[in-house]
Amino acid sequence: MTRSPATPLPPPAERRRLREAGALTWAQVAARVGVRPATVRAWESGRSVPRGRTREAYATLLAGLTGPAPAPGPGAEARAGAVDRAPGRRRRKGAAAVVTVRPDEPAGGPPGGVAPEPSAFAQAPPAAPGEVPDGLTPAQAFDALYAYCAPALVRQTYLLGGRRDLALESVERAFQRAWDHWPEVARDPDPAGWVRAAAHEWALSPWHRFRRRHRRPEPPPSDDDDRTLLETLLLLPPPYRRTLLLYDGIGVGLPETAAETEATTKAAARRLVHARETVAARLPELSDPRELHRRLAELGSTGRPRAAEPPAVRGGGERRARFWTRAAIAFTVALIGTTALTLHTAPTRYEPPVPPGETVRGVPPRVAPGPLSQEQRELRDSLREELPHGTQRLTPRAG
């Protein structure tokens, strides 16, 4: 039987251009093709290639998106082939790893995610989920990104640290850091991933254990299954916990998960398999990744922690920057004053130190004078009477 030739696919950059020309998001293309949005993103960046029926459906969809090709702008190639760039994330090359995935599970991860569907950019030009739209002021773009990412990010960091106050603090610190580096974040291909990596790193910092308020345990969830799942997650090492959350909780692809956790793809796959086995050992009903994803989303929504408003987050970051700037200026002034005082009071010439005294031995002790004899008293009286009234001098005689 002869096979019909496969429908040709355009290059990755052209795939992205066709999707943007058709005003489609990654989620919309993924829904038409039947895959995850992260998979469509991997196709457009050239990190993976569709195969089989998925390839035919994707090629047919792209063939229907016709339009004049605009001239490529500056940085188009970098955006087409960029990997998430965020604090602490580097792209690493590693051997491809095989992960045990169910036949009905997409390659990019389980369907759905802790993050909600994009709704913060309704008044902005069409953009992919998590990207900063053009035509907004920096404050408006920051507020839109915060409104899109903050609620889901609080739930994610709660699963990493097991504390709601730490989750809120991590998200606020991450967005304050993003506001301090906003030109870099706005140009990043995935601003949501930039902020997510910063929040996860703050939540997993080992220094929190030395803080007084973190020494008291937080009340666990009321449901027994949720409490068991949270305890199991907190028993995992932080890199394993983060890998499980990114892949099974959010739906990030395995190469992107490896890049965000600073590991090779093979190491990320081993961490994922070990984390799944640990969870399934205590909760056998969560051996299915789809059920695990659903339970992680439910556990993250426990308690409904509310994030602060965007202006408060921006204002807090600016106040913290002003505080540290003033503290640095005050420290510099104090250092200069101390140095000047030292130079003013320091001796200008060398003065040898006074040597310590020495004990002289063999000298008889000093004896106090005793009572005078009669002869001595007469001599004393004679001297007192004669010396003031005469000019003669007393001369010693040789004995």
Give yes or no for a contact between 244 and 162, defined as CB atoms under 8 angstroms apart: no
pLDDT digits (tens, 9 = 90+) for 303-313: 566 677 777 77
pTM: 0.52
Q: Look at residues 30, 60, 52 and name the one whose alpha carbon lies nearest to residue 43.
A: 30
Residues in the chain: 399
| Average pLDDT over all residues of the chain | 76
Q: Where are the domains of the chain?
A: 1-69, 119-218+309-340, 223-303
The residue among 4 and 187 whose pLDDT is bigger is: 187
Say what the pLDDT of residue 196 is.
92
pLDDT digits (tens, 9 = 90+) for 281-317: 988 888 888 888 888 888 887 756 667 777 777 777 7
pLDDT digits (tens, 9 = 90+) for 120-159: 222 333 344 455 555 678 888 888 888 888 888 888 888 8
pLDDT digits (tens, 9 = 90+) for 353-373: 888 888 888 877 776 677 888
> What is the signed CA dihedral for 40, 45, 51, 55, rounded to 10 degrees?
60
Say what the pLDDT of residue 28 is.
84
The CATH code of domain 223-303 reads: 1.10.10
Give yes or no for a contact between 261 and 204, defined as CB atoms under 8 angstroms apart: no
Question: Mean pLDDT, to the nearest integer, of 383-397?
Answer: 64
The CATH code of domain 1-69 reads: 1.10.260.40
| pLDDT at residue 91 is higher than 50 | no
Q: Give residue 308's identity as a one-letter amino acid code.
A: A
Say what the pLDDT of residue 351 is.
82
